[in-house]
Chain A
Amino acid sequence: MSAPATERRGARVWARTWPPLLGLAILLAVWQGLYVAEVRPPWVFPAPVEVATVLVDFVTDPVFWSALGTTLTRGVIGFGLALVIGTALGIALSSSRVLRSAVGSLLTGLQTMPSIAWFPFAILLFGLTENAIMFVVILGAVPSIANGLISGIDDVPPALVRTAHTLGARGVSMYRFVVVPAALPTYVAGLKQGWAFAWRSLMAGELLVVISARPSLGVQMTFFREFADTASLLATMVVILVIGMLVDGVLSRVSNAVRAKRGLGAVRL
């Protein structure tokens, strides 16, 4: 690559990086300011540096890694099961009018139900176990995923279906070659929302259903609160935020790639 091209690329990367960096810097400055002003006592409101130190310590802490592993495994399995169930449910509801009018509005209603409201029931059903957490994680994510697929299929342009019919697509081949690909962008948007709900439900679950023998991020936070270790608590929260953002970022990339291929996407004039 020639030098000017490298320079231009550098300029582009910088143009994309400085606004979030500035935002972060302002946030840290305000935080530091509040710390210095001692709005709250320093042992409940630590400085940014203390939290950063804890984050660095986490890297070499086996308990942290095992907690992170437990939480991530639950997230992946829970979201994976929700993906399978939500997709199957979405296909069933969009292909059966009776089923749709029977449970369609209930499914949309469930989307607005705070998942934490399920926990007392889940705990009675499954006890303080892994299953109680999974139950709520799946319940949290399934409606979004199913609804994404359903509205994706609803919004398939009728003209494309008619055209495909004249080309000989029927039944399964209509679904496989036309309906499913046409519904993909909305489905992926549903997956993004489903992930957000799954991750929130998981955190609520780990705080409510504390299984002491299995360290998780939620168990860690419970300990840190009980020992008033605010710096470690905040550091764990940073980890949770970053993981949520990373997964969302991956799904956003998938979504943008799917849309860009079709000439869709944000155009700013």
Chain B
Amino acid sequence: MSAGTSLAIRAERVSKTFGRGEAQVLALDAVDLEVADGEFVCLLGRSGCGKSTLLSMIAGLIEPTTGVIDMGGRRVGMMFQDSNLFPWLTVEGNISLALRLSGAPRSEWADRTAELLDMVHLPGMQDRRPHELSGGMRQRVALARSLAQDCQILLMDEPFAALDAITRDALHDQIERVWHERRLTIVFVTHNVREAARLGDRVIVMRPSPGRIAEEVPVLLARPRKMDDPMIATRAAALHDKLDQYHAEAPQQRGAR
């Protein structure tokens, strides 16, 4: 990390245990993580390596058992594998609710909703209901909704894992553009090696049982990137080998989240 850039996220000796007594599982063991402002970081690992747990702790959805996470008061938005749009609201209602909860004055809602929908390439979709949209469209509305709070840090928990490959490629292009335009800091959880190599400035490889950071791999490729770039395939293959290795080394333990 170059000197002079400030830290957006600093996690120090963060651990998390679930359950108690016999059934206690150490999901995350003394993890240190630093993310610079404007950085795109991917957390990569198989299931049970604690990557989603780490993300949920950064989001404040669960408390770490020990350790501290500091974001210097930056606003944090989050996206999940499911869009989690509120089904009783229209697209506009969903985005307006985020604006309202972040304290934006009512007079701005309509204009800012239109702006955000333009940004995710869904102009004029205000009056649609979530169940009328495709999976990819729903995720784009969810992205617009997260951005409505003017967050500086965006946490993404396998947001494209349930989409087909073509839609996913298109959304990779979009998220890269939005990240660039808005100067966001993104922490992106995935188990997909190509996705990690496609998106991340840095890929943090995690290993299971207990969840730990195994190593950090910088991806120094020019942007905007393309998924079919052979350089990405090479990086992805290397990441894949590392995952296999860490997975084989891991002691067999009941799966943590």
A interface residue numbers (CB < 8 A to B): 157, 159-160, 162-169, 173, 177-178, 181-182, 184, 258, 261-264
Contact = CB atoms under 8 A, between A and B. Distances in A.
Nearest to B76: A166
23 contacts: A160-B86, A162-B61, A163-B80, A164-B86, A166-B76, A166-B77, A167-B77, A167-B97, A167-B101, A167-B102, A167-B145, A168-B98, A177-B97, A181-B89, A182-B88, A261-B88, A261-B129, A262-B87, A262-B129, A262-B131, A263-B130, A263-B131, A263-B132
B77 to A, nearest CB: 6
B149 interface: yes
Interface string B60-98: 110000000000000011101010101111000000011
A168 B61 CA distance: 11
Contacts of A166: 59, 61, 76-78, 146, 155
Contacts of B86: 160, 164, 178, 181-182
A262 B78 CA distance: 23
Contacts of B59: 166
Contacts of A182: 86, 88
A159 B82 contact: yes
Contacts of B84: 157, 159-160, 162-163
Contact of A181 (B88, B101, B130, B131): B88
A181 B132 CA distance: 19
B97 A263 contact: no
B80 A159 contact: yes
A182 B132 CA distance: 18
A181 B88 CA distance: 7
Contacts of B129: 261-263
Contacts of B146: 166-167
B101 to A, nearest CB: 4
A167 B98 CA distance: 6
Q: Secondary structure of the A side of the interface?
A: helix
A152 to B, nearest CB: 12
Nearest to A166: B78
B154 to A, nearest CB: 10
A264 B61 CA distance: 29
Q: Which of B88, B97, B98 is the most central at the interface, judged by chain A CB atoms within 10 Å of its CB?
A: B88
Contacts of A264: 87
A119 B18 CA distance: 52
B15 to A, nearest CB: 22
Contacts of B155: 166
Given A258-B88, A262-B131, 19 more contacts: A159-B84, A162-B84, A163-B78, A166-B61, A166-B146, A167-B145, A168-B98, A168-B102, A169-B101, A173-B101, A181-B86, A182-B86, A184-B88, A261-B88, A261-B129, A262-B87, A262-B129, A263-B130, A263-B131
A167 B87 CA distance: 16
Contacts of A169: 101
A156 to B, nearest CB: 11
Interface in B29-53: none
Contacts of A167: 77, 97-98, 101-102, 145-146, 149
A30 B146 CA distance: 64
Nearest to B97: A177
Q: Which of A160, A163, A164, A262 is the most central at the interface, judged by chain B CB atoms within 10 Å of its CB?
A: A163
Contacts of B89: 181
A161 to B, nearest CB: 10
A96 to B, nearest CB: 23
Q: Which of B60, B97, B101, B146 is the most central at the interface, judged by chain A CB atoms within 10 Å of its CB?
A: B101
A168 to B, nearest CB: 4
A262 B88 contact: yes
A157 to B, nearest CB: 8
Nearest to B84: A163
Interface string B196-232: 0000000000000000000000000000000000000
A167 B100 CA distance: 10
Contacts of A173: 101
A261 B89 CA distance: 8
A231 to B, nearest CB: 49
Contacts of B82: 159
B60 to A, nearest CB: 8
Contacts of A184: 88
Contacts of A263: 87, 129-132
Contacts of B149: 167-168
A12 to B, nearest CB: 23
Contacts of B76: 166
Nearest to A177: B97
B75 to A, nearest CB: 9
A165 B88 contact: no
Contacts of B61: 162, 165-166
